[in-house]
Amino acid sequence: MEAVKGFLAPLGLNTNSIQDTLKLVVIGGTVETARRASISAWNGFVDSFYLTAHFSQEDYPYDWQALCLDRLMHWLSKQPAWGRSREFEITTRSVGRNQLNQSTTGDLDEEEMDEEDENELDHGRRKRKVAFMPSPDTTHTIYYRGHWLKITRTRRYQDYGHYSALKISVVARNNDILKRLVLEAKREYEKDAEHRVHIFMADTTYACWRWNGARQKRPMNSIVLEPAVKEMLLADCRDFLRSEDWYAERGIPFRRGYLLHGVPGSGKTSLIHSLAGELGLDIYVVSLSSKGMSDNTLTTLMGNVPSRCILLLEDLDAAFTRGISRDSTSTGAPTAPTKAAAEANDGSTLSLSGLLNSLDGVAAAEGRLLFATTNHIERLDPALSRPGRMDVWVNFSNASKWQAEGIFKCFFPSRPSPTSPPSSPSSPDEASTSDASQKNPPGSRRKASAHAVPVLEEAEIAQLAKRFADTIPEGEMSVASLQGYLLKNKTRPRECVEEVSEWVQQEREARARLKREKEEVRQSARRPFLLTKRA
Task: Find the DSSP H helices in 48-158.
Answer: 64-76, 80-83
In this structure, is residue 528 part of a structural domain? no
The parent domain of residue 369 ranges over 217-396
| Number of residues assigned to the chain | 535
Closest CA to 255 of 305, 290, 182, 321: 305
**Closest Cα partner for 393 from 403, 404, 402, 380?**
380
CA dist list (Å): 80 to 143, 177, 352:
10, 19, 56
Smallest CA-to-CA distance from 79 within 112, 105, 101, 100 is with 105
Closest CA to 351 of 324, 374, 383, 326: 383
Number of domains in the chain: 4
Give me the CATH number covering residue 229: 3.40.50.300
Q: Do both 221 and 360 map to the same domain?
A: yes
CB 23 within 8 A of CB 121: no
Q: Which residues pair with 392 in a beta bridge?
A: 258
- Nearest Cα neighbor of 295 from 230, 372, 349 is 349
- 14 CA to centre of own chain: 79
pLDDT of residue 158: 55
Instruction: Point out which residues pair with 148 in neighbouring strands.
Output: 143
317 within 8 A of 334, measured Cβ to Cβ: no
In whole angstroms, give the CA distance from residue 87 to residue 135: 6
| Domain shared by 26 and 145, yes or no | no
Q: What pLDDT is stored for residue 45 in this prediction?
A: 74
Q: 348, 369, 396: which is the final residue of a domain?
A: 396
Residue 157: per-residue pLDDT: 61
212 found inside a domain? no
Q: Which of 264, 259, 103, 272 is nearest to 199 (CA)?
A: 272
Provide the strand spans (E) within 217-333: 256-262, 282-287, 309-314
Same domain, 300 and 238: yes
DSSP class per residue in 325-378: --STT--SPPPPPPHHHHHT-------HHHHHHHHHSTT---S-EEEEEES-GG
Assess if residue 208 is contained within a domain. no
Reduced to 3 states, what is the DSSP secondary structure of residue 8? helix
Residues 366 and 407 in one domain: no
In a domain, 82, yes or no: yes
Residue 113 lies in a domain: yes
Strands 309-314 and 161-171: unpaired
Positions in the chain whose pLDDT score sits under 50: 59-64, 94-99, 110-121, 159-161, 321-345, 423-449
Interatomic CA distance for residues 145 and 177, integer angstroms:
8
Distance between first and last Cα of the chain: 112
- Give the end of a domain, one of 396, 417, 449: 396
pLDDT of residue 340: 44
**Pairwise CA distance, residues 533 & 475, whole Å:** 42
- Give bridge partners of residue 168 from the DSSP assignment: 53, 151
pLDDT at position 440 is 44
Sign of CA pseudo-dihedral 418, 419, 421, 424: negative
Provide the H-helix boundaries in 91-228.
176-192
- pLDDT tens digits, 239-284: 999 999 999 999 999 999 999 999 888 889 999 999 999 999 999 9
**In degrees rounded to 5, what are phi and psi of residue 301?**
-65, -45
Judgement on whether residues 28 and 61 belong to the same structural domain of the protein: no
481 and 343 within one domain: no
Whether residues 500 and 425 share a domain: the answer is yes
Residue 40 lies in a domain: yes
- CA 238 to CA 236: how far, in whole Å? 6
Task: Return the bridge partners of 152, or none.
Answer: 139, 167
How many whole angstroms separate alpha carbon 38 and alpha carbon 222?
Answer: 69
d(CA 276, CA 499): 36
Q: Are residues 223 and 190 both part of a single domain? A: no
DSSP conformation class of 130: B
Q: In this structure, are 69 and 41 located in the same domain?
A: no
Distances (CA, A) of 168 to 106, 152, 277: 23, 7, 34
- Number of neighbours of residue 377 by Cβ within 10 angstroms: 16
- Asked if residue 113 and residue 27 are part of one domain, the reply reads no
Query: Same domain for 375 and 243?
Result: yes
- Does any domain span residue 466? yes
> Looking at 396, 417, 437, which one is the last position of a domain?
396
Whether 353 and 221 map to the same domain: the answer is yes
Residue 152 lies in a domain: yes
